[in-house]
Each structure stands twice: as structure tokens, then as C-alpha cells.
Amino acid sequence: MLITLTKSIQKQLLFAAGAAILAIQTGMAQSVPSSTDIQLKRALEMIERLANQVAAQDARIQELESGHRSHVSVSSGYRAEIIPAVNTTSPPLSMAAEPTKPTGPGTTTEPAEPILPLPDTNTEGGAHDHMLQLPGGGPALKFRGFYDFNFGTGTNSNPLTFPIVTTGRSTFQTGEFDLFMSSKLTDKLSFVAELVIGADKTNSWGLDIERVQLSYKASKYFEVSGGRYHTSIGYYNTAFHHGTWFQTAGGRPFMYYFEDSGGLLPVHSVGVTTTGLVPGTESLGLHWIAEISNGHSADPNGAPVQNFSSDKTSKAYNFATYIKPIWAHGLQIGGSFFRDRMYLPDSGIRRIDQSISSAYVVYNNSVWEFLGEGVLLRNSMHATNRSFNTPLTYGQISRKFGSFRPYVRYQFVNAIASDPVNLYAGRYAGPSIGLRKDVTDYAAVKVQYNLLRQRLIPTANGLLVQMAFTF
């Protein structure tokens, strides 16, 4: 189109030049200097304007051709370019940050000081995401990486496995290599995924797609997502995903350990989750969450999260609500109720009705952190009406002093040995005392001492040193 326009302007230029020559010849033939001068001046002005337009169009064509060549390889196949993401929106809640200082000529950019995250079931990125941009104006794929490296000594130092490994050996330990990806397909449609590579107690590497979901946000009052997501049970499970760098402490509380690490709760689900703000409650910040999923399998020899096929016709459902008052910044209070129906694999008809109730109070700002949660896991034998109750709770408090943040966490889990569903049983209670040091805006060192008291087992203790960072 630009080439066509340029040709048209060139024709006008030639026409104007011809008109100018004709005007000069006519004026000379008529021997009327004043008329000739006027006509010549007008023709020259027209030529100058058209010449400027041609030059501008030629520059624009060269710019577009240069940009096109930068997206095309020598073999004429398309290739993607990795470029820094432009911070056009505020950081998501799961990586909330204070505003950055203004930038411009003669100024330097100072990264925002990270503060403790607030829950967000969809995103875990921020202002410094990397971006994979495909040619042709397609959606950009933003991605971030997280990794932690640990050293543990003592009988209670492992930050990932429940129940606690009590070998007492000192060991260096690779943590989770986490790649978080997100893409905004349209103004309302988005996609997130989280790919984690990690080692286990057998020293074998495993690859897991921990989250993958497509979300449609019609408005602040309604958003729906489908795929594999973190179940909205309590606070910690949706506020902190697999990036250890986000967490103040060296690991998750016992009650929120992942299923493949021996966790007792269904922290992952495959299904549909919806959420939104209740209309008319903007000042109170009253939100609702409703989820339906495959639920978990009761087969101890199988995968607990049913990603592809389900061993039952019924579905699990979960309802949650929370408030985030705008007049009490950092405060969040909420609760949830999860319901599932499970069948033991030995007979196929031994039905277990599972219910999980939770409540929490959280206060977070750039200085103080307070987390308090309680969960009651109840498994009931449908035929006999016999129930097994497992209480799970923790409390955590920390305060920031410059780049240092000391913290204390106390937790309690009491799983009944005769429970037919829980893979592990026993009482686990004790404090953890630690110190987090942010060595840069994107890396932190944590030193944590754990003391654990267990029923009929000697008291365990251990020291964990962790380097966690994002890239």
C-alpha cells in the first residue's frame, strides 16, 4: 500500500514539474514577468511539498522492511525473539510490589521492593518478566524462573517432604526448578502454566506440569478458569505456589505439602474454578470462589491427582469466600469448604465421604506478616458412619528490618492412624525459627532451625540453609 502511495506521489511530482516548465515557457512567450514569477513560485512550492512527502514515505518503507527482516531468518522461516517485557500493568497480587521510581533521561531504574504476596490463583509473574514475542503480532508469552538450593543437617531439615525424613545425614539438596509462563490472548482471555523439575528421595529427576489453565475474565465480578490449578483451600495454597523465593520461610507448612511429597490435602485439582467480587461490596472486598473437579483418588498406589481419567462418576466441589477491606490494607479473612466422594480400591464399593473445612486470618504489608490458618480434614465411612478427623493448623509471624526478616512458625498436624485414606499418620507439632536475608531484589538466603515433636518418636531437630532466587 505504501509503495502504491509513493508511486502516486511521484506521478504528482512529475506532473508538477511539467506544469512548472510549461508555466515558465508560457510566461516567457507572453513576456509577462509578474505572472510567470507567480506561477513558477507556486510550482516550486508544490514540488517541494511532494518531494518531502516522498522522502517521508521512503523512510517509512525502509523502517518497516528493516523491522520485517528482524523477524525473518535467513532461511525465510519465522523465528521468535526474546525481548524484555514492558511493564504496562501493575504487578499481579501474587508478586505485589511497591511502585518503582520514575525513569527517564539521566535517571536510573530501581526495582521495586518486594513485599509479601496476596492470593491470586492465576498469576505469579511481575514487572520484570521475560517475554517471547512471535512475529505477526501474536500473543506474547511471558515467563519467569525460580530455583532453590539447600543444605540440611539434622533429623528435621527437609523443606519439601512429609513426613519428615529422620536419617540425620547432612546433605546438599537441589530444590525445584520452576518455570512459570503466562500469555494474554485477548483483553479477557489469558493462559498460565507452571512446569517444575525436581529430584526426590531416590535421587531421580521428575518433571511435573503443576499448573496449566485457561482463564476468561468477563469482569471483576466473574472469572472462570479450566485446567489444573491450586485448590482454593485456605490461604497459603493459592497465595504461594512452587516458587520458594516468594515464601518467607524455607518451605511450606506441613498441612500444605504437595500430594507427591506426602501431603494430606488435595492442594491440586483438575476441573473448573470460578471467582469474582460480590457486587456492591467494593469497600469490603467480598469475593466468592466456586470449583468443581475430578477430586482425588483413594488408591495409595496410584496418582492422587486425577489429571486425565477419573475413578468415579461423582465430582468434588469447593466453595470459598474472603474479604479484603480497602480500609484495612493487608488484612484478609476467609474460609472454604471442600467436599468429595472417594472409593477404596480393594472392593470398589467402600465409599468414603471427605469434607475439608478451613478458616484463616492474614495480615500482610511491607513490614509485618501474620498468617494464621486452621483446617479440619474429615473422612467418613459411608456404610458405617464412622468418621476420622484430622486437625491441621499453623501460625507464622515475621517483621522486616531493612533486608533482614526474622520469622517464627508453629505448626500442628494430628492424623489418626486408623484413617483409611491418609497415607501417613501421626502427630507432628513444633516451632521453626528462621532469618531471611534478601541479598538482591531477586535472591534471598534463608537459615531455619526446626524442632519437631512426634507421637511415640524421639524429638527431631535440624538446620536448613537455603538460597532461593528468581530469574
DSSP string, 298-344: --TTS-SB-SS--S-SS-EEEEEEEE--TTSTTEEEEEEEEEEEEE-
Residue 155, pLDDT score: 77
Residue 19, pLDDT score: 53
- The answer to whether residues 418 and 288 belong to one domain is yes
Q: Write out pLDDT tens, residues 43-78.
A: 667 767 766 766 666 666 565 555 444 443 333 333
> Which of the listed residues 49, 70, 91 is the one where a domain comes to its end?
70
Domain span at residue 404? 130-470
Residue 98: inside a domain? no
Residue 459, pLDDT score: 83
Residue 296, pLDDT score: 85
Residue 121: inside a domain? no
Q: How far apart are alpha carbons 236 and 94 in whole angstroms?
A: 11
Residue 342, pLDDT score: 84
Residues written for the chain: 471
- The answer to whether residues 193 and 334 belong to one domain is yes
- The answer to whether residues 139 and 54 belong to one domain is no
Residue 378, pLDDT score: 93
In the predicted model, residues of the chain with pLDDT beneath 70 are 1-41, 43-44, 47, 50-51, 53-129, 133-137, 159-168, 300-301, 346-349
CATH code of the domain in which 227 resides: 2.40.160.10
Residue 316, pLDDT score: 93
Residue 2, pLDDT score: 41
Residue 123: inside a domain? no
Residue 208: inside a domain? yes
How far is C-alpha 388 from the geometric centre of its chain's CA atoms? 35
Residue 408, pLDDT score: 97
Residue 279, pLDDT score: 96
> Which of the listed residues 70, 90, 116 is the one where a domain comes to its end?
70
User: Which of 460, 404, 390, 456 is CA-nearest to residue 430?
Assistant: 460
Q: Tell me how many domains the chain contains.
A: 2
The reply to whether the predicted model has a pTM over 0.75 is no
Residue 88: inside a domain? no
